């Protein structure tokens, strides 16, 4: 049973790792878009509201998808001043209790709340309020529950890894 949980944790980690790699390419695309926007605006006096909105949407995707990857890599916000000095056993218990008490319930709550937000946007066929802006506003709003699904998955992976570690691995 513990072997299967460890395997599941590794598969979840692999999924988040791949999403992190894809997200890094989104950063490259965003840099190209911003550079192109600046070039066209200052040299050719051409500007597009839709392109600028797309840049913001891409930045939102990077932040949301990158948060699960950041969590996986241990670079998320936590009080490292204290965590760094804890024993391996205390760190293990923190890696069990924090996902159970905070990360998984909070992520599930945000997924639940934001899903209605996205569905309402879809039902209203919401578009950008700016002339020349992007349609299908629900797509960018859909990043919210999707991002928290990824955080939930990573929280589950952290929990499973902490549970399945043996004393010799601590």
pLDDT, one tens digit per residue, over 99-140 is 999 999 999 999 999 999 999 999 999 999 888 889 999 999
From first CA to last CA, the distance across the chain in angstroms is 19
Residue whose token pair is 């989104």 = 26
More confident residue, 134 or 167: 134
Closest CA to 19 of 149, 158, 156: 149
Task: Give residue 110's pLDDT.
Answer: 97
Gap between the Cα atoms of 151 and 65, Å rounded: 9
Distance CA 16, CA 8 (A): 13
In the predicted model, what is the mean pLDDT of the chain? 89
- Give residue 147's pLDDT band: very low, low, confident or very high (50, 70, 90): very high
Would you say 12 and 154 are in contact if contact means Cβ atoms under 8 Å apart? yes
> What pLDDT, on a 0 to 100 scale, did the predictor assign at position 132?
86
Q: What is the pTM of this model?
A: 0.85
Q: How many CB atoms lie within 10 A of CB 67?
A: 17
Structure tokens at 77: 């916000």
Tokens 């960018």 -> residue: 140
Question: What is the C-alpha radius of gyration for the chain, rounded to an integer number of angstroms?
Answer: 20
The secondary structure of the chain in percent helix, strand, coil, rounded to multiples of 5, reads 80, 0, 20
pLDDT at 168 (0 to 100): 42
d(CA 114, CA 126): 15
């Amino acid at each position: 049973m513990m072997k299967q949980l460890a395997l599941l944790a590794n598969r979840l980690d692999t999924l988040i790792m791949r999403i992190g790699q894809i997200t890094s390419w989104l950063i490259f695309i965003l840099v190209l878009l911003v550079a192109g926007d600046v070039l066209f605006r200052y040299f050719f006096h051409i500007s597009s509201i839709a392109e600028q909105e797309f840049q913001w949407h891409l930045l939102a995707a990077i932040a949301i998808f990158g948060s699960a990857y950041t969590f996986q890599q241990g670079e998320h916000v936590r009080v490292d001043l204290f965590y760094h000095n804890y024993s391996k056993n205390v760190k293990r218990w923190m890696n069990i209790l924090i996902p159970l008490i905070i990360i998984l319930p909070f992520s599930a709550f945000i997924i639940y709340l934001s899903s209605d937000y996205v569905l309402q946007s879809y039902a209203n066929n919401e578009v950008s309020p700016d002339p020349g802006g992007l349609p299908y506003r629900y797509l960018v709003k859909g990043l919210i529950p999707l991002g928290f699904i990824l955080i939930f998955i990573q929280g589950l992976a952290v929990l499973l890894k902490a549970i399945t570690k043996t004393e010799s691995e601590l």
